[in-house]
Amino acid sequence: MIEQKNEKQDHQINDDDILDDNVFEKAWRITEFSKLVGRHHNTVYNWFNILEEKGLHETLRTQNTNEKLYNALDLEIALFIKQKRDEKWSLDAIIDLLPHQFDLRPVSPEHQTNEVS
């Protein structure tokens, strides 16, 4: 598990900042995170890619390696998506509902695209 700064404005985490435990919250790499969610890592990764591509929610990244990290908010979102998918909701319907259910992180322009896979 990786820990991340709680107050980073640009949603990036300095890889060298893992010293002061008081300013950190838990964050996971995709493999650990997907196990918590209970879905294959490709599935979870794709959910969050779609959210970024649509400009709805940005995934945290490490500053030095730009590796994606997932925190407690992301876990709540992923578990919500999983629950709705288990209830046979379409992914599009779930995504439309997310801004009404969660305080999503805005996507920075460099991580937003116009194409959705």
DSSP state of 64: T
Q: Which residues pair with 39 in a beta bridge?
A: none
DSSP state of 20: -
Q: Which CATH number fits domain 2-111: 1.10.1660.10, 1.10.10.10, 1.10.3720.10, 1.20.1730.10?
A: 1.10.1660.10
Choice between 14 and 36, residue whose per-residue pLDDT is larger = 36
Would you state the pLDDT for residue 57? 98
Residue 22 to residue 71: CA distance in whole angstroms: 16
pLDDT, tens digit (0-9, with 9 covering 90-100), for 75-101: 999 999 999 999 999 999 999 999 999
| pLDDT surpasses 50 at 40 | yes
Residue 4 to residue 18: CA distance in whole angstroms: 7
Q: What's the pTM? A: 0.76
**Beta strand extents in the chain (DSSP E only):** 2-5, 12-13, 24-28, 60-62, 68-71
Q: How many CA atoms are closer than 13 Å to the CA of 30, on its beta-carbon side?
A: 15
Choice between 23 and 25, residue whose per-residue pLDDT is larger = 25
Would you state the pLDDT for residue 49? 97
What average pLDDT does this structure show over 18-43?
84
